[in-house]
Structure 1
């Protein structure tokens, strides 16, 4: 069907550490369990209510998989975009067909953003703290006045 859209956007928390598996060709698959919650006030009792929905997420994108493996852990807050896919398999014991619906981040599609703060030990080590502090003390030139001289009107 032309013009259809299959896009899922979630902001939630990991319910457990990412599960990393390797395919036969060496590519990695990362599985996540993401919780999203709805909160509302019950009209009858006036109490706050909450319902949590769990989402299975599968990452086939190598770059996003590496980020998930390196930085995500149980409790991490993430923003992600993927596609909804239903997978079918046959249960080995019962012989019955089973189905599961997952949010899939494909090889060249999908987005994963870590939200919240990251622990101090995960800060990019390209610059140490003293180099960052020194760079903030560099003299500032008066660039704005130089630009005014070059404006043609």
Structure 2
């Protein structure tokens, strides 16, 4: 038996980036900051997320930097050869299967307003 399941809850570190492919599929990438409950430091753990399909479009339309989200997915390791040094490189990525928007509607409205001016009452 093998098991590769990751559950995370945290705040989005940057606005999602979405790409549409000629095949009709879509890919959304973003970062997620997750605090450790036992950690003495204020530094969160950062995770790279990739979301495919309709869920990617939902993330691109409704998630913004600072949004509180929950994700369920699997861990994969991306590997490549560095073009400059020729060294083998790798990074962990969470491939998201399920996305939960956890912030309140008011939180989402405040996030939407943050890019449109300094006055949050507009």
Q: What count of residue pairs does the alignment treat as equivalent?
A: 109
> Alpha-carbon deviation of 1:120?
9.2
TM-score, normalised to structure 2, is 0.78
Match in the other structure for 1:145: none
- What does residue 80 of structure 2 align with? 89
Distance, in Å, in 2 between the alignment partners of 1:52 and 1:4 is 28
Corresponding residue of 1:59: 51
For the pair shown, the structure with the greater C-alpha radius of gyration is 1
Say if 1:30 and 1:65, in contact at 8 Å, map to a contact too: yes
Ranges in structure 2 where 5+ consecutive residues have no aligned partner: 110-122
- Residue 150 of structure 1 corresponds to none
Deviations 1:14-71 (A, max 9, x none): 01100112335342111110001125586xxxxxx433100111112x1111110110
Say if 1:13 and 1:34, in contact at 8 Å, map to a contact too. yes
The 5 Å alignment of 1:108-119 reads 110-119=97-106
TM-score norm. by structure 1 comes to: 0.64
Once superposed, which parts of structure 1, at least 4 consecutive aligned residues long, lie more than 3 Å away?
39-42, 119-122
The CA distance in 2 between the partners of 1:41 and 1:94, in whole Å, is 35
Matched residue, 1:33: 31
C-alpha deviations, 1:78-112, integer Å up to 9, x for none?
Answer: 0100000001111222222110111102xxxx110
The question of 1:104 aligning with 2:102 is answered no
Provide the rounded CA distance (Å) in 2 between the counterparts of 1:41 and 1:97.
31
Q: Which is bigger in relative contact order (C-alpha 8 A, separation at least 6)? A: 2
Q: Which residues of structure 1 form unaligned runs of 5+?
A: 43-48, 123-153
Provide the C-alpha distance between the structure 1 equivalents of 2:22 and 2:91, rounded to a whole number of angstroms: 22
